[in-house]
């Protein structure tokens, strides 16, 4: 337990530049307290003291605003930053060195039994408000953008954004000229689509204007003189 304490504190110092002291982490970081409480609740859960495990989990949720089911499996180095509203389901599995931000949900999609929550690989970052739902697998080194809803498996070394989530970067290469997850500059697939449509409309308008000018010029060259007849019809001479 002492080694776990030290490891969790070290993780916070490494990933949060606002952390200044051990005392501050111990008493002022709800994410740290939620993780420690979960370690205790998970111990009781594995020993089949289910009520006691849920009681610890419920107390922790009340104190921290972070709900982690005692059955969830969490690896080493989990960092929860501004964790209010985080929900982690019973059969969720989280690898090592994962970072979760405020409002993340690792949840299910219905009332099915068995494995119904996602499995998260190592070195994964899930940004604010993202939802990863169902018994899916998220590979190592994945970044999930803020507000994304992930419903399908994600291979390793990818960046996912949007609703539903789509891969915009894979193995370091951008897909369809998308933007990588800088966490302060997320691509917006809807806005990108609107920009593409607007650019296309402007291009078509320029082409139509060009064709109209060419048609008028050609008409003047082909019919340089035009006269109106007595009946109002146009005669070309």
Domain boundaries, the chain: 2-187, 192-236
Secondary structure E strands in the chain = 67-68, 73-74, 79-81, 87-88, 93-94, 99-101, 105-107, 119-120, 125-126, 131-133, 137-138, 143-144, 149-150, 158-161, 166-170, 173-174, 226-228, 234-236
Give the residue ranges of the chain where pLDDT is below 70: 172-190, 219-237
Task: List phi, psi (to 5°) of 118.
Answer: -70, 160
CA 90-46-136 angle, to 5 degrees, is: 30
- In this prediction, residue 40 carries a pLDDT of 94
- In this prediction, residue 170 carries a pLDDT of 77
- In this prediction, residue 189 carries a pLDDT of 63
DSSP state of 154: B
For 61-80, the pLDDT digits (tens) are 999 999 999 999 999 999 99
Sheet architecture: strand order including 131-133: 67-68, 87-88, 105-107, 131-133, 149-150
Q: What percent of the chain has pLDDT over 90?
A: 49
For 38-67, the pLDDT digits (tens) are 999 999 999 999 999 999 999 999 999 999
Q: How far is CA 235 from CA 166, 211, 223, in A?
A: 63, 25, 10
Query: How does the average pLDDT of the chain come out, rounded?
Result: 84
Count of other CB atoms within 10 angstroms of residue 90: 15
CA 197 to chain CA centroid, Å, is 24
- In this prediction, residue 103 carries a pLDDT of 92
- In this prediction, residue 186 carries a pLDDT of 56
- In this prediction, residue 130 carries a pLDDT of 94
CB proximity list for 52: less than 8 A, separation 6 or greater: 44
Question: Rounded to an integer, what distance in angstroms lies between the CA atom of residue 47 and that of residue 70?
Answer: 11
Q: Which residues pair with 170 in a beta bridge?
A: 158, 173
- In this prediction, residue 180 carries a pLDDT of 42
Given this structure, which CATH class describes domain 2-187? mainly beta
């Amino acid at each position: 337990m002492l080694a776990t304490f030290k490891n969790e504190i070290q993780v916070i110092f490494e990933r949060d530049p606002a952390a200044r002291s051990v005392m501050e982490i111990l008493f002022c970081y709800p994410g740290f307290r939620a993780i420690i409480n979960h370690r205790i609740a998970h111990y009781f859960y594995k020993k089949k003291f289910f009520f006691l495990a849920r009681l610890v989990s419920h107390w922790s949720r009340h104190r921290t605003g972070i709900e982690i089911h005692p059955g969830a499996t969490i690896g080493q180095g989990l960092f929860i930053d501004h964790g209010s509203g985080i929900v982690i389901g019973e059969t969720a599995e989280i690898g090592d060195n994962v970072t979760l931000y405020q409002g993340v949900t690792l949840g299910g999609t219905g009332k099915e039994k068995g494995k119904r929550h996602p499995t998260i690989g190592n070195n994964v970052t899930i940004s604010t408000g993202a939802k990863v739902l169902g018994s899916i697998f998220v590979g190592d080194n994945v970044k999930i953008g803020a507000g994304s809803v992930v419903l399908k498996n994600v291979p390793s070394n990818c960046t996912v954004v949007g609703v539903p989530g789509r891969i915009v970067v894979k193995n370091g290469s951008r897909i369809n000229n998308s933007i990588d997850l800088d966490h302060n500059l997320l691509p917006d697939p809807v806005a990108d689509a609107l920009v593409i449509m607007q650019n296309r409309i402007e291009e078509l308008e320029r082409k139509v204007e060009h064709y109209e000018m060419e048609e008028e010029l050609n008409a003047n060259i082909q019919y340089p003189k035009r006269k109106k007849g007595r009946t109002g019809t146009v005669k070309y001479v």
